[in-house]
Amino acid sequence: MTLHASRDGGRLVLTQGRLTLREQLPEDALQLAEGKPAALVWIDGVPGDGTVGAATMTVATSRAGIYRPGWGLFAIVRSEDGTAVGGAGFHGPPDRGSVEIGYDLSESARGAGWATEAARALCQWALAQPDVLTVLATTEPGNHASQAVLERVGFVRVADRGELWAYELTSIPV
């Protein structure tokens, strides 16, 4: 499925099938970090805890002066009605050819393929950028749902990072 990248008011917007990923700029991330909806309609009323945590990372990179547009948090939005079902994004800009992703879904959106589609779209976009050779992801050993998402996208498990299982991806399987 074709990934379409566009800009809307300075935001990167990635669209693929039923999914739209809307970049959350630092000012949006600040609202999300406070548990506020940031001008989005959330399936469960507010962003999930993982999305709030990711927003905090985007705010921190902005305050540290290392934020780069396109390399932070995205709202996972249903294209059909504009409802936000979770968050996905990067833990920061690329570093030595690698970038790390994460994702979180609202309770009501789990089990419908949104995390897999969001991770696939993020990886497809990232690996098309000249400064990215590898996409990384980590999970807790007991997080079987997240591990299944990574495996469906094509990630391969590599050496653990401390207590976390680590995965990497260098290309999107066809």
List pLDDT tens digits, range 69-126. 999 999 999 999 999 999 999 998 999 999 999 999 999 999 999 999 999 999 999 9
Question: What is the distance between the alpha carbons of residues 151 and 39, in angstroms, rounded to a whole number?
Answer: 33
* Domains identified in the chain and CATH numbers: 4-169 (3.40.630.30)
What element of type H or E holds 146?
A: helix 144-153
Does 35 score more than 80 pLDDT? Answer: yes
Bigger pLDDT: 92 vs 167:
167
Alpha-carbon distance of 173 to 145, in angstroms, equals 20
Provide the 10 A C-beta neighbour count for residue 80: 8
- In this prediction, residue 172 carries a pLDDT of 84
Phi-psi region of 96 (alpha: psi -120 to 50; beta: other; left: phi over 0): left
> What is the model's pLDDT at position 63?
94
* pTM of the shown model: 0.95
2 pLDDT more than 80: yes
Q: Is the pLDDT of residue 150 over 80?
A: yes
Alpha-carbon distances, residue 125 vs 17, 20, 36, 89, 121 (angstroms):
15, 13, 28, 11, 6
